[in-house]
């Protein structure tokens, strides 16, 4: 029996990781070659490319200019909210980054020091990130518009010498001034930055604090371009904060060497994109997708990256994505399933798609939350292109499981991100830590060491990092539940706490969501476990209907109950659901299931700082009360 190309590549990555990643690292420019590919002397604190030196900004900009890509567009800034489209070449971007890096150096920012970037989706955000990388400073991008208390927590943890911000962001049709939020965060924080650099946008002029605040343009005008500072492969490139169970955010550390190697490899072998092509990750630079696939990976690979300041719907209509693809010749689009559910809700028959030529598009990649089969089929049917579900986390920085289009495409199984990406030894364990046979559901873990590009630790908190790798010694615990089928396809059924116990039966709410989402009138849904005195927990559903549906909600709910009963049986106890106008989500599109669970169970909850529309929580509360829940 012949061995497939994927099996050969994957097998080498697991059995000979040093040879595999040593070869991949030859695609990166090093100022000093590494002494060892993998250092396990302090396991589980593994390190990649120890002894090696490089500069990530050099690999993303200088190298391409020196290699003849200077006149190619590095960034296409497309902002429907300001009616702006601007192309910035690699040479132009290098000039801007070099001068801003010089400006930061002039403020005393040196190698190893931290800079917080609190910016909207504008080119200056990318410039600030790359400028930090250029001088060896560690950047920490905080999503623009985060609440002052959340920003203050990150200021106190990262202790930045300088904060870089803008006068405002634009959310749809709303202009959100940033400076009052920043000022309040600095007032609350114990740590005070020495300087703040403010980019004044024409929509709002920010009031400046004398002696502390500096105008972006004035800083750049007086700055000299600076060269790249070599850093150790193991030196941190950035800190990215992700939510923690204790309320204190976790500062995920990303190193320079392993990250550059992994991202460059992923562009060719996962996304099957070529240097010079247009790659669009429709996300935000404040999230991990923005770090990895708006900024670093496309530029490391010599691609043109799209920086989109807009929404999938409403800026101005559900055809926004198709317009961008058509206008800029996008080869690969990467976004969240939520974006496509929003488009499907507003334009279920994809009438807006018919207005545009999207022949340049080869693939649609989706990640960020579970891709329900109904959304997969809708996108696949409408686009007539491969729709690739893939799964990863802020902590890993790049995909764990995917249909690796540049290695060997596999037939798609709806609901699965296909197979483990080379480098990731994914296994399913039971509660005792034993590996489960194919088809049985358990905890999804990754056998250590994690491949390059994943977190080596948390920012100044090795102890907390150990929580990821000591619950199951020798494994990184993803926190997700799922199974691997007989063909090696991975199925992620949701967070482990999304498995509910109904009268002794363990049931996945993800399985119920799959069924509910198949209803012809449902745009998106969430199924949660509610506390029940008799059965322990029972499932409760919340659904959003497609635009134009005028049927009575109770009729639709009755049909949903019958669908779940028919496919999972009476033991599922799915008897209650409510129709709501919108589900509460983060600005990156993730449904706030844990907050919804607290509402349903009548428990106290804090309104997450990442929420897109707080009024959606009120609707969930009212609906939960209508079903007899949300009682304190």
pLDDT surpasses 70 at 352: yes
User: Strand ranges (DSSP E) for 374-517?
Assistant: 387-389, 401-402, 419-420, 425-429, 442-447, 475-484, 490-495, 499-502, 505-508
Asked if domains 5-310+390-483 and 311-389 share a fold, the reply is yes
What is the 3 state secondary structure string of 471-507? CCCCEEEEEEEEEECCCCCEEEEEEHHHEEEECCEEE
Residues whose CB falls within 8 Å of the CB of residue 323, separated by 6 or more in sequence, listed in order: 356
Pick from 482, 12, 467: nearest CA to 244: 467
pLDDT at residue 632, rounded to an integer: 73
Mean pLDDT in residue range 135-164: 94
Contact 395, 252 (CB under 8 A): yes
Convert 377-398 to b/e letters by CB count within 10 Å (16 or more is b): ebbeebbeebbbbbbbbbbbbb
Interatomic CA distance for residues 230 and 183, integer angstroms: 34
- β-pairing, 84-89 vs 73-79, is antiparallel
pLDDT tier for residue 332 given thresholds of 50, 70 and 90: very high
pLDDT at residue 245, rounded to an integer: 46
Cβ-based neighbour number of residue 582 at 10 Å: 17
Quote the DSSP letter at residue 293: I
Q: What percent of the chain has pLDDT over 70?
A: 98
pLDDT surpasses 80 at 119: yes
pLDDT surpasses 90 at 130: yes
pLDDT at residue 503, rounded to an integer: 61
Interatomic CA distance for residues 260 and 254, integer angstroms: 10
Interatomic CA distance for residues 116 and 113, integer angstroms: 10
pLDDT at residue 248, rounded to an integer: 72
The H-or-E segment that residue 330 falls in is: strand 330-335
Interatomic CA distance for residues 572 and 570, integer angstroms: 5
Interatomic CA distance for residues 505 and 499, integer angstroms: 10
User: Strand ranges (DSSP E) for 69-189?
Assistant: 73-79, 84-89, 114-118, 138-141, 162-166, 168-171, 174-177
Residue with tokens 């300088």: 162
Mean pLDDT in residue range 571-600: 88
pLDDT surpasses 70 at 386: yes
162: left (phi over 0), alpha (psi -120 to 50) or beta: beta
pLDDT at residue 353, rounded to an integer: 98
Mean pLDDT in residue range 606-615: 81
350: left (phi over 0), alpha (psi -120 to 50) or beta: left
Interatomic CA distance for residues 25 and 269, integer angstroms: 14
pLDDT at residue 608, rounded to an integer: 79
302: left (phi over 0), alpha (psi -120 to 50) or beta: left
Q: What percent of the chain has pLDDT over 90?
A: 81
Contact 241, 249 (CB under 8 A): yes
Interatomic CA distance for residues 600 and 619, integer angstroms: 12
The per-residue pLDDT for range 234-244, each reduced to its tens digit, is 999 999 998 65
pLDDT tier for residue 494 given thresholds of 50, 70 and 90: confident
Interatomic CA distance for residues 82 and 86, integer angstroms: 11
Interatomic CA distance for residues 110 and 101, integer angstroms: 10
Query: What does the block give as tokens for 336?
Result: 């969240």
pLDDT at residue 246, rounded to an integer: 47
Mean pLDDT in residue range 21-40: 98
Pick from 262, 302, 263, 265: nearest CA to 406: 265
Residues whose CB falls within 8 Å of the CB of residue 395, separated by 6 or more in sequence, listed in order: 242, 252, 454, 455, 468
SS3 assignment, position 394:
coil
Interatomic CA distance for residues 332 and 363, integer angstroms: 5
The per-residue pLDDT for range 246-292, each reduced to its tens digit, is 457 799 999 999 999 999 999 999 999 999 999 999 999 999 999 99
Helix axes 509-517, 553-568, angle to 10 degrees: 130
SS3 assignment, position 528:
strand
Quote the DSSP letter at residue 58: I
Interatomic CA distance for residues 583 and 110, integer angstroms: 44
Interatomic CA distance for residues 350 and 346, integer angstroms: 9
pLDDT at residue 506, rounded to an integer: 64
**CATH class of this structure's domain 503-626:** alpha beta
pLDDT at residue 320, rounded to an integer: 98
pTM above 0.85, yes or no: yes
- β-pairing, 363-366 vs 387-389, is parallel
pLDDT at residue 570, rounded to an integer: 74
- β-pairing, 536-545 vs 522-532, is antiparallel
Interatomic CA distance for residues 237 and 469, integer angstroms: 22
Instruction: For the chain, give the mean pLDDT.
Output: 94
Quote the DSSP letter at residue 531: E
pLDDT surpasses 80 at 568: no
SS3 assignment, position 388:
strand
pLDDT tier for residue 509 given thresholds of 50, 70 and 90: confident
pLDDT at residue 453, rounded to an integer: 98
Measuring CA to CA, how many Å separate 231 from each of 50, 130, 270, 508, 605? Answer: 11, 14, 28, 46, 43
The per-residue pLDDT for range 410-463, each reduced to its tens digit, is 999 999 999 999 999 999 999 889 999 999 999 999 999 999 999 999 999 999
pLDDT surpasses 70 at 298: yes
CATH number of 311-389: 3.40.50.980
- β-pairing, 330-335 vs 475-484, is unpaired
pLDDT tier for residue 1 given thresholds of 50, 70 and 90: low
pLDDT tier for residue 218 given thresholds of 50, 70 and 90: very high
**Burial class for 523, CB neighbours closer than 10 Å (0-12, 13-18, 19+):** buried
User: Strand ranges (DSSP E) for 10-133?
Assistant: 36-39, 47-50, 53-54, 73-79, 84-89, 114-118
* pLDDT top residue among 589 and 314: 314
pLDDT surpasses 90 at 230: yes
pLDDT surpasses 90 at 107: yes
Contact 476, 468 (CB under 8 A): yes
pLDDT surpasses 90 at 590: no
Domain boundaries, the chain: 5-310+390-483, 311-389, 503-626
Residue with tokens 């800034």: 77
Kindly write down the DSSP assignment for every residue of 208-270, as one continuous string: PPTTTEEEHHHHHHT-----PPPEETTSEEEEEEE--TTSSPEEEEEESHHHHHHHHHHHHHT
pLDDT surpasses 90 at 500: no
pLDDT tier for residue 6 given thresholds of 50, 70 and 90: very high
Interatomic CA distance for residues 487 and 471, integer angstroms: 28
**CATH class of this structure's domain 5-310+390-483:** alpha beta
């Amino acid at each position: 029996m012949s061995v497939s190309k994927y099996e050969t590549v994957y097998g080498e990555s697991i059995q000979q990781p040093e040879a595999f990643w040593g070869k991949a690292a030859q695609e990166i420019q090093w100022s000093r070659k590494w002494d060892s590919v993998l250092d396990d002397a302090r396991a589980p604190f593994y390190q990649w490319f120890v002894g090696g030196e490089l500069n990530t900004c050099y690999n993303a900009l200088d190298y391409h200019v020196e290699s003849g890509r200077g006149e190619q567009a590095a960034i296409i800034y497309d902002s429907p909210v300001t009616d702006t489209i601007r192309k910035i070449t690699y040479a132009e971007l290098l000039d801007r980054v070099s001068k801003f890096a010089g400006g930061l150096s002039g403020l005393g920012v040196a190698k190893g020091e931290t800079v917080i970037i609190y910016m909207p989706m504008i080119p200056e955000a990318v410039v600030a990130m790359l400028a930090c990388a250029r001088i060896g400073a560690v950047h920490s991008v905080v999503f623009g518009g985060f609440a002052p208390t959340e920003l203050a927590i990150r200021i106190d943890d990262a202790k930045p010498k300088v904060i870089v911000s803008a006068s405002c962001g634009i959310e749809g049709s709303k202009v959100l001034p940033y400076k009052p939020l920043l000022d309040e965060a600095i007032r609350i924080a114990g740590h005070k930055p020495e300087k703040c650099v403010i980019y004044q946008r024409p929509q709002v002029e920010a009031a400046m604090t004398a002696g502390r605040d500096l105008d972006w343009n004035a800083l750049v005008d007086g700055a000299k371009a600076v060269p790249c500072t070599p850093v150790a492969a193991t030196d941190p490139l950035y800190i990215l904060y992700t939510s923690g169970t204790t309320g204190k955010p976790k500062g995920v550390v990303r190193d320079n060497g392993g990250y550059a190697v992994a991202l460059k490899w992923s562009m060719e072998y996962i996304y099957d994109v070529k240097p010079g092509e247009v790659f669009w990750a429709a996300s935000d630079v404040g999230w991990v997708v923005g770090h990895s696939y708006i900024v670093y990976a496309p530029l490391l690979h010599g691609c043109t990256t799209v920086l989109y300041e807009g929404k999938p719907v409403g800026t101005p209509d559900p055809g926004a994505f198709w317009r961008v693809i058509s206008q800029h010749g996008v080869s690969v689009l990467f976004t969240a399933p939520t974006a496509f559910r929003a488009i499907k809700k507003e334009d279920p028959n994809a009438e807006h798609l018919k207005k545009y030529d999207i022949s340049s598009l080869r693939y649609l990649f989706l990640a960020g939350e579970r891709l329900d089969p109904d959304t997969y089929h809708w996108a696949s049917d409408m686009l007539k292109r491969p729709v690739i579900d893939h799964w990863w986390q802020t902590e890993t920085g790049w995909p764990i499981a995917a249909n690796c289009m540049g290695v060997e495409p596999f037939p798609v199984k709806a609901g699965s991100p296909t197979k483990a990406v080379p480098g990731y030894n994914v296994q399913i364990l039971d509660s005792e830590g034993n590996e489960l046979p194919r088809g049985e559901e358990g905890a999804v873990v990754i056998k250590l060491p994690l491949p390059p590009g994943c977190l080596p630790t948390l920012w100044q908190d090795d102890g907390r990092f150990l929580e990821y790798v000591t619950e199951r010694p020798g494994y990184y615990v993803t926190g997700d539940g799922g199974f691997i089928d007989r063909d090696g396809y991975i199925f992620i059924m949701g967070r482990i706490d999304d498995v509910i116990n109904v009268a002794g039966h363990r049931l996945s709410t993800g399985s119920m969501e799959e069924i509910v989402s198949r209803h012809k009138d449902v745009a998106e849904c969430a199924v949660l476990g509610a506390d029940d005195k008799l059965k322990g927990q029972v499932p409760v559903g919340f659904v959003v209907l497609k635009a134009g549906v005028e049927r009575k909600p109770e009729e639709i709910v009755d049909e949903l109950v019958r669908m779940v009963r028919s496919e999972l049986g009476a033991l599922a106890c799915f008897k209650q659901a409510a129709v709501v106008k919108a589900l509460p989500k983060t600005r990156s599109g993730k449904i706030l299931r844990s907050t919804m669970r607290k509402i349903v169970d009548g428990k106290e909850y804090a309104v997450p700082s990442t929420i897109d529309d707080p009024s959606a929580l009120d609707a969930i509360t009212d609906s939960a009360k209508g079903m007899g829940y949300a009682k304190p």
